[in-house]
Amino acid sequence: MQWTEEPACRRESVPTADSVERRPGAPSVVRSRISPLPDPVTRPEEDARRSRAIAMIPKGTILIVDDERDVREVLEEYLVAHGYAAIGAESAVAAKALVAQHAVDLALLDIHMPGEDGLSLARHLRERHATIAIVMLTSASTVVDRIVGLEMGADDYVPKPFDPREVLARIKSVLRRTSAANRADIGAERVRIGRCVLDLAAHRLTDQHGAEVPMSSLEFDLLKALAQHPNRPLSRERILNLNGQRDWDPFDRSVDLRVMRLRKKIEPDPEHPRFIRTIRNEGYIFVPDGGR
């Protein structure tokens, strides 16, 4: 495969990747480094610190499925350098295991692989993980593969050999389209939060299958406050005031406990929250598109 890389002097300054431990035959995993954020406090901080805290979180998680190790490693390194988390899998079997364990935003699938091919894997993802966007890696001369891939539910394709910059551009374009589509079917009284939908009028939270998610009235009040102030950090004091709880204790940790419980319900990966985030010395922030 031929690659066209950017000159070193033009590369962006981006978060470094964590070191990777590999086992023979095991899928490779590369993630952007994210520093843990402490518990929020109510003291306000400057906008620059807020921007830096948000920027440290990956723009999204990309699954790269290709039996060629060199292809996976080049794409993993390139995507991590541009602010994404990347997970590499050498087969459809390994990819299915990773999707079951990690929240994936987009899958790059090579069509021709030993064993189960990329088309079969694309069908599986569409049936079991409908929210994952799919970009097929195809042979430049095989029109049929591209047509079949799109019919299987792929959102786009990139012919081989390819330039990593084109792959990145396609990823950004597909994620923008799929994110907009996910938001378009939700009305003013219904807000998509992670893998759930909050119905403000009915005081109801439903999961991706339409089943109701149990939720206390206090948890609803917290979600409502965050949903009505997207992309704006809210301190614990502000959240309690919005909920009408003005006789609050400055050391009250009820908001933090509620956030922890809600993350388990709405976040695809509660250990690495993307939709309800902690902002150092600010509080909590609701990010509607998960930072894509």
Annotate 134-173 with b (16+ C-beta within 10 A) or e (fewer). Answer: bbbbbeeeeeebbebbeebebbbbbbbebebeebbebbbe
C-alpha to C-alpha distance for 200 and 156, rounded to whole angstroms: 35
Question: Is the domain of 166 the same as that of 194?
Answer: no
User: Which of 156, 184, 212 lies at the terminal end of a domain, its last residue?
Assistant: 184
pTM over 0.85: no
Same domain, 68 and 149: yes
Token reading at 187? 């009305």
Q: What is the pLDDT along the chain (292 residues), one digit of tens a residue?
A: 445 444 443 444 444 334 334 444 444 444 443 333 344 444 445 555 554 544 456 788 999 999 999 999 999 999 999 999 999 999 999 999 999 888 888 999 998 888 888 888 988 888 777 778 899 888 755 666 667 667 667 888 888 888 999 999 999 988 887 665 454 444 557 888 888 888 888 888 988 777 888 888 788 888 988 988 888 888 888 887 776 654 445 455 778 888 999 999 999 888 889 899 998 888 899 988 776 5
Tokens encoding 97: 């295991």
Q: Is residue 2 domain-resident?
A: no
**Does residue 291 form part of some domain?**
no
Closest CA to 135 of 147, 120, 145, 149: 149
Range of the domain at 122: 8-184
- Count Cβ atoms within 10 A of the Cβ of residue 204 and give its class: 0-12 exposed, 13-18 middle, 19 or more buried: middle
Residues 128 and 15 in one domain: yes
211 and 165 within one domain = no
Two tokens, residue 283: 């509080």
Instruction: Give domain status of residue 200, yes or no.
Output: yes
